[in-house]
Amino acid sequence: MSDPRDHDQPDDSEEEEDFNPAPADASDDEGNGAGDNDEDVESSPRQTRKASPARNDAADDEDEEGEGDEDDVAGNDDDEDEEEEDDEEDEEIQGHRRKRARRKDKRSAFFELEAEVDDEDEDEEDEDDAEHEGFIEHTEAGEAEQFAREDDARHRELDRRREMENDMDLEQEAERLKKQYGNKRSARGMGESAVVPQRLLLPSVDDPSIWGVRCKEGKEREVVFSIMQRIQQKQGTKDELGITAAFERGGPNSVMKGLIYVEAQRQTDILQALEGMLNVYPRTKLLLVDIKEMPDLLRVQKTPTLEPGAWVRLRRPPKHSGDLAQVIDITDNGLEARVKFIPRLDYGLRDDALAATTIDGKRKRPMGPGPKPPQKLFSEVEARKRHPRYITGNPQTNNWQYNGDEFEKGFQVKDIKIQHLTIKDVNPTLEEVTKFASGGEDGVENIDLKSLAASLKDSTINVTYLPGDVVEVYDGEQKGVVGKATNVQGDIVTMEVVSGDLAGQTIEVPTKGLRKRFRPGDHVKVIGGSKYREEVGMVVKISEDRVTLLTDQTNTEITVFSKDLREASDIGGQGSLGQYEMTDLVQLDPTTVGCIVKIDRESMVILDQNGDKRHVMPSQIANKLPRRKLAVAADRNGAEIRPDDVVKEYGGMSRQGKIVHIHRTYVFCHTNATNENAGIFVSKVSNVATISAKGGRINAAANSADLSTMNPAAKRPEAKNNMGPPKQMFGRDRLIGQTVTIKKGGYKGLLGRVKDTTDTHARIELHTKSKIISVAKTDVVVRDSVSGNVIKNYDSRKPGAFGMGRPGGDRAAPDWSNAGGRTPMASAGAGGRTPAWKTPSAGGAGGRTPAWNRNGDGGRTPAWAAADGSRTVNPYDGNRTAYGGSGGRTPAWSSGSKTPAPDSFGHGSKTPGYGGSGSSDPWGSGSKTPYGAAPTPGASGGDSWGYTPGASGGSGAYDAPTPGAGLLGAPTPAAMNAPTPGAYSAPTPGAMNAPTPGGGWQSGWGADSAPTPAAAAPTPAASGFSYAVNAPTPGAWAAETPAAGPRYEDD
């Protein structure tokens, strides 16, 4: 069978001059050889049409395989196709060379071959010569022989020349054929198949069929290799294999794993060929591949190429599954890669639990197959400790062998089958890679960023470009071009170039050569797989692919790949994990609380009350403590501190910060002075001193009126509603002992005597029968025990209308009419005042107060309290109420001569203005402002007190309360602001307190004994106050009572 030689010689010559089969044939007689060839050529057509092509092909395959293991299996198939063509050609044209020529057209190896043949001949001649020389003397006979040989050589030369000519023709012929069939040739590679009309290439029924043969999973390639080997072995023997091709489409993710595909004319050929081969099961059912499916079977998928330096993940050995590894080298057959990775060794400690516990904590959990030892570079010392015998190696190069594993410079090095590596989407993190880098000599960081970047680029999933990203081309022709991505499709990014020569143009670039571009100062957000995901920060440094940024959240610097960054528009950032957020207060255990100072993706750092930092998982947190805005504590000076106050540590580090949380005796504060713990620190309540309280700010704000709410100065009607709670009655209810009649119910009309009262009810002992009944106080009418006249004013002693600023409704009209106006103003001003008037004015008096309050700070109360020192809400309101109430209750005033009033006021009101406004009222005295005298804005600005009396008091002033007057009070916030505190604080205690006990109280008594209105009048204003604050004795009330008495009489 020399046919194969014809095919193969060119290939051989092309590769390396390997003629193994050739010399054997060539050493034959030249003529024979030629004849042989001819004969062969003649026979080949016949063979082609019969069963032999398979054999031919098999031989062919064998040879090709012999040339190189790497030959694509698909290639065999192609060659075979071609061979058939060739056979056809042979039919048409005699001469085996033709084909060779055709094959060689590009390579012109043809000539070389000729030369080689020539050489052979010469060699032979030489050999012959040598033989001759060796055995026979140079004789005549030798001469003759030499002549003959020369002659022979000449003949041969002629032959060769002819042949050459013939070959030239053949070459032309080949050209022709090439033109004719060239398409096929160019379509050989399946990769180019898209260019060629596929149907021309499709297999037909005449072609050999392909069967799928079951084999062991993962051994596909091995099986194919062994088939090749077998073909080689059997080549040229009697039982050459009848298969024309074998290939596999295995691979870890392939659906065709566990199968090899064998092409042959008949199924029996396959059975024969695979007989007795390992890992393949031809006796199981063979799957005949449908003709239509054959092309699909050979469709090439680009497999990721593995290059030294690339990062991969291990799947085997199980101990290392998932570990990152770096490829050092790939074995020749492409099946295995030599990788290095960080070993997980326990140095035998796990064999022996006892040892694990005694020997220092170098290692690991004591027992069990479960946990993997942690990754750690190989340590010779460790290894020698327990296994001195198992370790061999060279300390100089730092290469070791230990327990059958190889270690180089601390890393384990191992040949691993490529299918046991994860090549795609390796996604090495910077942390992992850094471990490899730090393994370098002298620990200098020398990460091969290029390969890292390459590995990262491989995992395209992670690199996401979005329209609007500023990107830079760092590879390829357009290197250095910067632009803005406008469109992203697959891994092609359309970008608009913003600078350079191409500015303004739109180009398309594969993501492979792209990276995002940032500049220092850019505000970016970390996306993608980095552990810093979701962090937002500002770029401070850029080197190559690495970007350092300063996070907004914690003001720490982190370094990430630019691919993991995006321009950030939001400020947000990683501030929460589940329900937990930064600076939340959480309960760790019943006695421990902590403040969250850092939040990672799965865990958080908590600063506990003792100032220790703890890493905890959300599951370790018992619960989250709601932020208590109202939490109050006392600092070391006893001053009140609340959240948001600024405090400073006393002693210690003297840190100053704003209180975030107060928990029992601990305060968690936030400071901007440090980044540590996100600026949070913890301290004992007793160890901080207030710097500025939030309340202070409120006071400041209180100085100006809120112009979008009701002008407090102009506020009147609603004032009543704002009066404080009813004045508590102190001491004995004056109703007790009074004679009353019952207004309602079954006992209506009956007369009785009040034995006892509650807030709402009176127990009445009926005169008619010896019975004590309980009646609502509102349902009784007080009568004079002697005259039987109704004493209406008693109503006011009832809780509902006790003059304590109860809404007007309670204050029944009778009161008004009866008392002649409950307020001094009303009475003083004019008897004829309409209730409407009074109402406002009453409001002014009583209600005004809260209004003021409101003006102050929406609560005035604290302000008041602050102003007075210790005054609390109630006293204050009480005062006011008392004013209004008692004022109102001083009919003495109204009815009586005002003269005494001035007297009594005399000491209360020291203002000259008072005299002017004279009768105006006690208010004037209280406020000290010469209200009546000067109803100017200034005066009114002085405060609303001025205003109030104005309304109530002097008739001149009386006009004031009209809107115009209102303005007086209202107008300039400034006017109001300034005087307010002063006016309040100063006069209040003084004017009110002072006169109260003395003037009010005693005069009250005076009134009692000798009902001078004067006494009564000033009293209420001050007395109410004093009662409330200073002397809440029942006596005070008692004092008033009589005052009222006379009034009634007056009426």
Partner 1 sequence: MFFLYNLERRLTLHPSYFGKNMTELVTTKLMKDVEGTCTGSYYIISVMDSFTISEGRILPGSGLAEFTVGYRAVVWRPFKGETIDTVVVSVNQHGFFAEAGPLRIFVSAHLIPGEIKWDPNGTPPSFHDEETTIQVGTHVRVKIIGTRAEVGDLWAIGSIKEDYLGYFLPP
User: Contacts with partner 1 in 223-282 (CB under 8 A)?
Assistant: none
Out of 141, 540, 653, 1010, the only residue in the binding site for partner 1 (CB under 8 A) is: 540
Applying CB under 8 A, does 675 fall inside the site for partner 1?
yes
Applying CB under 8 A, does 541 fall inside the site for partner 1?
yes
Out of 324, 970, 991, 1022, the only residue in the binding site for partner 1 (CB under 8 A) is: 970
- With respect to partner 1, which residue has the nearer C-beta, 315 or 655? 655
Applying CB under 8 A, does 654 fall inside the site for partner 1?
no
- With respect to partner 1, which residue has the nearer C-beta, 388 or 521? 521
Tokens of 124: 């032979």
Q: How far is the CB of 672 from partner 1 (least distance, A)?
A: 8
Applying CB under 8 A, does 301 fall inside the site for partner 1?
no
**Contact present, 774 and 763 (Cβ < 8 Å):** yes
Instruction: Give the separation between CA 890 and CA 120, rounded to whole angstroms.
Output: 148
Question: What is the 3-state secondary structure of 782-796?
Answer: EECCCCCCECCCHHH
Q: Which stretch binds partner 1 (CB under 8 A): 107-115, 420-428, 639-647, 966-974?
A: 966-974
Q: Where are the beta strands (DSSP E) in 693-779?
A: 739-742, 751-757, 761-766, 772-776
Q: Terminal CA-to-CA distance of the chain, rounded, Å? A: 151
The residue count for binding partner 1 (CB under 8 A) is 35
Instruction: Give the separation between CA 584 and CA 598, rounded to whole angstroms.
Output: 10
Q: Name the β-bridge partners of 394.
A: 399
Q: How far is the CB of 700 from partner 1 (least distance, A)?
A: 11
- With respect to partner 1, which residue has the nearer C-beta, 712 or 800? 712
Closest CA to 891 of 717, 1007, 1002: 1007
Instruction: Give the separation between CA 650 and CA 661, rounded to whole angstroms.
Output: 18
Instruction: Give the separation between CA 647 and CA 667, rounded to whole angstroms.
Output: 10
Applying CB under 8 A, does 974 fall inside the site for partner 1?
yes
Closest CA to 153 of 130, 139, 109, 145: 145
- With respect to partner 1, which residue has the nearer C-beta, 69 or 557? 557
Out of 258, 695, 973, 995, the only residue in the binding site for partner 1 (CB under 8 A) is: 973
Applying CB under 8 A, does 375 fall inside the site for partner 1?
no
Instruction: Give the separation between CA 729 and CA 1034, rounded to whole angstroms.
Output: 8
Q: How far is the CB of 598 from partner 1 (least distance, A)?
A: 15
- With respect to partner 1, which residue has the nearer C-beta, 252 or 937? 937
Applying CB under 8 A, does 697 fall inside the site for partner 1?
no
Applying CB under 8 A, does 704 fall inside the site for partner 1?
yes
Q: How far is the CB of 353 from partner 1 (least distance, A)?
A: 44
Q: Which stretch binds partner 1 (CB under 8 A): 118-126, 244-252, 699-707, 997-1005?
A: 699-707
User: Contacts with partner 1 in 708-727 (CB under 8 A)?
Assistant: 708-711, 714-715
Distances (CA, A) of 206 to 265, 656, 687, 987: 9, 93, 98, 121
Q: How far is the CB of 593 from partner 1 (least distance, A)?
A: 27
User: Contacts with partner 1 in 492-521 (CB under 8 A)?
Assistant: 520-521
Out of 707, 786, 813, 836, the only residue in the binding site for partner 1 (CB under 8 A) is: 707
Q: How far is the CB of 968 from partner 1 (least distance, A)?
A: 11
Applying CB under 8 A, does 686 fall inside the site for partner 1?
no
Applying CB under 8 A, does 691 fall inside the site for partner 1?
no
1015 Cβ partners below 8 Å, 6+ apart? Answer: 892, 900, 904, 999, 1002, 1003, 1004, 1005, 1006, 1007, 1043
Closest CA to 957 of 810, 799, 841, 788: 841
Applying CB under 8 A, does 149 fall inside the site for partner 1?
no
DSSP secondary structure string, 180-200? HHHHHHHT-SGGGTTTS-GGG
Out of 557, 581, 612, 1051, the only residue in the binding site for partner 1 (CB under 8 A) is: 557
Applying CB under 8 A, does 972 fall inside the site for partner 1?
yes
Applying CB under 8 A, does 371 fall inside the site for partner 1?
no
**Contact present, 49 and 206 (Cβ < 8 Å):** no
Applying CB under 8 A, does 523 fall inside the site for partner 1?
yes
Out of 8, 60, 522, 815, the only residue in the binding site for partner 1 (CB under 8 A) is: 522
- With respect to partner 1, which residue has the nearer C-beta, 973 or 1046? 973
Tokens of 999: 């003037």
- With respect to partner 1, which residue has the nearer C-beta, 510 or 858? 858
- With respect to partner 1, which residue has the nearer C-beta, 891 or 973? 973
3 state SS of 51: coil
Q: Which stretch binds partner 1 (CB under 8 A): 359-367, 373-381, 535-543, 815-823?
A: 535-543
Out of 461, 634, 673, 772, the only residue in the binding site for partner 1 (CB under 8 A) is: 673
Q: How far is the CB of 964 from partner 1 (least distance, A)?
A: 9
3 state SS of 879: helix
DSSP character at residue 555: -
Tokens of 752: 């009785």
Q: How many other C-beta atoms lie within 10 A of the C-beta of residue 348? A: 17
Q: How far is the CB of 569 from partner 1 (least distance, A)?
A: 11
- With respect to partner 1, which residue has the nearer C-beta, 148 or 700? 700
Closest CA to 167 of 89, 88, 85, 102: 102
Q: How far is the CB of 547 from partner 1 (least distance, A)?
A: 11
Out of 226, 229, 494, 674, the only residue in the binding site for partner 1 (CB under 8 A) is: 674
Out of 166, 555, 872, 1041, the only residue in the binding site for partner 1 (CB under 8 A) is: 555
Instruction: Give the separation between CA 333 and CA 325, rounded to whole angstroms.
Output: 20
Q: Which stretch binds partner 1 (CB under 8 A): 476-484, 555-563, 788-796, 809-817?
A: 555-563
Instruction: Give the separation between CA 976 and CA 753, rounded to whole angstroms.
Output: 52
Applying CB under 8 A, does 785 fall inside the site for partner 1?
no
- With respect to partner 1, which residue has the nearer C-beta, 253 or 569? 569
Instruction: Give the separation between CA 929 and CA 947, rounded to whole angstroms.
Output: 10
Applying CB under 8 A, does 539 fall inside the site for partner 1?
yes
Instruction: Give the separation between CA 877 and CA 861, rounded to whole angstroms.
Output: 8
Q: How many other C-beta atoms lie within 10 A of the C-beta of residue 154? A: 10
Q: Estimate the crossing angle of helix 109-135 against helix 140-186, to 10 degrees.
A: 160
- With respect to partner 1, which residue has the nearer C-beta, 660 or 713? 713
DSSP secondary structure string, 397-449? TTEEEETTEEEETTEEEEEEEGGGEE-TT----HHHHHHHHHTSGGG-----H
Applying CB under 8 A, does 550 fall inside the site for partner 1?
yes
Q: How far is the CB of 703 from partner 1 (least distance, A)?
A: 10
User: Contacts with partner 1 in 977-1006 (CB under 8 A)?
Assistant: none
Closest CA to 883 of 915, 930, 919, 844: 844
- With respect to partner 1, which residue has the nearer C-beta, 278 or 974? 974
Q: Which stretch binds partner 1 (CB under 8 A): 141-149, 657-665, 690-698, 703-711?
A: 703-711
Q: Report the b/e string of 707-721 with b at 16+ CB within 10 A.
A: eeeebbbbbbeebbe
- With respect to partner 1, which residue has the nearer C-beta, 228 or 547? 547
Q: Which stretch binds partner 1 (CB under 8 A): 405-413, 538-546, 815-823, 1011-1019?
A: 538-546
**Contact present, 538 and 519 (Cβ < 8 Å):** no
- Site for partner 1, rule CB under 8 A: 520-523, 538-541, 548, 550, 552, 555-557, 571, 672-675, 704, 706-711, 714-715, 966-967, 970-974
